[in-house]
Amino acid sequence: MDLGLKDKVAFVAAASKGLGRAIAEELAREGAKVVMCSRDEAAIGRAAREVADATKGETVAVAADLSTAGGCERFIRAGLERFGRMDVLIVNAGGPPPGRFEELDEAKWDLAYQLTLQSAVRLTRLALPELKRTKGNIVYSTSTSVRQPTQYLNLILSNSLRGAVHGMLKTLSKDLAPYGIRVNALQPGRIDTERVRQLDEIGAKAQGKTPEEVRRGYETGVIPLGRYGEPREFAAAAVFLASERASYITGVSLQVDGGMLMSMF
C-alpha cells in the first residue's frame, strides 16, 4: 500500500530513542524527509544518521529541549530552514517520573507540565501556519492511561497531563478541520522500550518481585495478545494515521496495546 508520504516532510519530537525513534525510521522508510529532535545532541545526531543509513532517507537532527519555549522554536525553525515545509507533526515527549501525589512537589509538577502539556501546546502553535498551508496533520503520542489511569504504578503526573493533551486534540480536530488539518493521537500500552523497562523495574521493587516477573504478569494476565508490543508496531500505526490513507480520520485516539484496555470507548 502506498501511503502517500514520499517527499513529505515530517517533524518527530523526542526521536533519539524509543517510540519517537521508531516513528522517525518508519516515516523515512515510506519516503518522508524527517526532522528529528532530542535534548541530547550526540544522541539525536547518532539516531538521525542511523535512520538515514537504514532507510536511505533524508534526516535532520536538531538538539532542542522541548520543555522550554526556546527549544520548541529551535526544533521547528531548523526543520523549516532545511526543508521549507511541514506536512506531519509527531508530538512526543518522554514520560514524567512516577510517584505518589504526596511525594511530588510543585517543582516536579511544573517540570512535567512544561514537558508533557506545554511542549504539545507550543509545538502545535508553531506548526499551525505551515500546516494550514500544506493541509498537513498532527499525531500526538500519549498513553493508554488517558482512558484507564493505571493502578499498577503511581503515574499521577502522566495521568493528569496526558489527559489534558487529549482534551486539546479533540477540540483542535474540530477547530482545524476547515483548514484541512487532521488531528489524532496514539495511546501506547506496554511497548518494549527503555521507558517501560524502567517502569517495570520500579514496579518490581515496590512489589518485591523481579522485573521479569512483573512483565510476565502483564503478558499472562493483562494483555490479551500475551506479549509486549514492539516499537515498530506502534510506529506503523502512527505512520498510517499521518498518511494520506487516513485522510478521513480525525479526532481519533487509537490505542496500540495488544487489547490491554477493557473499555469500549
Active site residues: 152
CA distance 20 to 219: 24
Q: Which of 136, 153, 125 is nearest to 89 (CA)?
A: 136
CA distance 134 to 88: 9
Using only C-alpha atoms, the chain has a radius of gyration, in whole angstroms, of 18
> In the structure grid, which three cell numbers stand for residue 67, read together?
520543555
Q: Give me the half-sphere count of Cα atoms (radius 13 Å) on the Cβ side of residue 125.
A: 9
Instruction: Name the one residue in this structure whose C-alpha cell is 522485573.
Output: 211
Contacts of residue 73, defined as CB under 8 A and 6 or more positions apart, other chains included, come to: 122, 126
Sheet holding 33-38, edge to edge: 59-63, 33-38, 9-12, 88-91, 137-141, 182-188, 253-256
109: left (phi over 0), alpha (psi -120 to 50) or beta: alpha
Check if the beta carbon of residue 204 is closer than 8 Å to that of residue 159.
Answer: no
CA distance 133 to 5: 17
End-to-end C-alpha distance for the chain, whole angstroms: 29
